[in-house]
Structure 1
Amino acid sequence: MVVVVVFVPREAADRVRRAAARAGAGAIGNYRACSFSAAGEGRFEPQVGARPTIGRVGEPEVVDEMRVEMVVPRPDARRVVDAVLAAHPYEEPAWHAYETLGLAEL
């Protein structure tokens, strides 16, 4: 399994979660669209050449964001990340993915 993590403005979090679930993320046993979210502050400063959705070039910005995490089978991970990025409102979304260990690997 892979955990896909994305940082998204609070108002766009549901849209990103739904896109990830439609692409195959969040299936755990008999449950679908499972995710975890935690609130936080995203901080960035757009540079020359950026086209920020929020904020202005050259000015520091703080945004109320959610960290959204969902599990996905390894073969489906690229499709999920592509769906997350397509649904995300930012020009350059912050995200990462990491592989997990199951009970058989422990």
Structure 2
Amino acid sequence: MARPSGMEEFDCLVVYVPTSDADALRSALAAAGAGRLGNYAACSFSVEGMGRFTPLDGARPAIGTIGEPEQVAETRIEVIYPRGQRNRIVGALIAAHPYETPAFMTFPVDISLPPEA
């Protein structure tokens, strides 16, 4: 399906954050402009899970101890945003996230509607 001329391209951001910090991170992402869809703002999807990591030498972990495996109840947050706003959205994520190195990914998404029959 072809994208109509002038329609903005969107990406999806997926980020993992301690569940206790999920609401604050969702708010920061929304304030930066992520999660707008049509006439709606602050749209996101979340699911709970368990994050696992081992801080290595040189790390400054917000949670855990160097060399010790750690498990943290985390929330996976997904939001869309206009592709041209990536630096602002990722900057807001980094500023609001409690981890030294937040785990996140971005990828293109197609949110266009099919043409009316």
TM-score normalized by structure 1?
A: 0.95
Instruction: Give the ranges of 4+ consecutive aligned residues of structure 1 lying more than 2 Å apart after TM superposition.
Output: 102-105
Question: Hey, what does 1:99 align to over in structure 2?
Answer: 108
Say whether residues 1:81 and 2:81 are aligned partners: no
Q: In the aligned structure 1, how far is the partner of 2:43 from the partner of 2:99?
A: 23
Query: How far 1:102 moved relative to its partner?
Result: 3.2
Deviations 1:24-65 (A, max 9, x none): 100011110000000001000000111100010000000000
Q: How does 1:1-106 map to 2 (within 5 A)?
A: 1-103=10-112
CA RMSD across the alignment: 1.5
How many aligned positions are there?
106
**Secondary structure of 1:53's partner?**
coil
Q: Which amino acid aligns with 1:22?
A: A
Q: Between Structure 1 and Structure 2, which shows a larger proportion of helix residues?
A: 1
Q: Which amino acid aligns with 1:58?
A: G
Deviations 1:48-103 (A, max 9, x none): 11110001000000000000010001111221111011100000110000001233
Query: How far 1:104 moved relative to its partner?
Result: 6.4
TM-score normalized by structure 2?
A: 0.86
Segments of 5+ residues of structure 1 without an aligned counterpart are none
**Secondary structure of 2:57's partner?**
coil
Segments of 5+ residues of structure 2 without an aligned counterpart are 1-9
> Percent of aligned pairs with the same residue?
50
Q: In the aligned structure 2, how far is the partner of 1:91 from the partner of 1:84?
A: 12
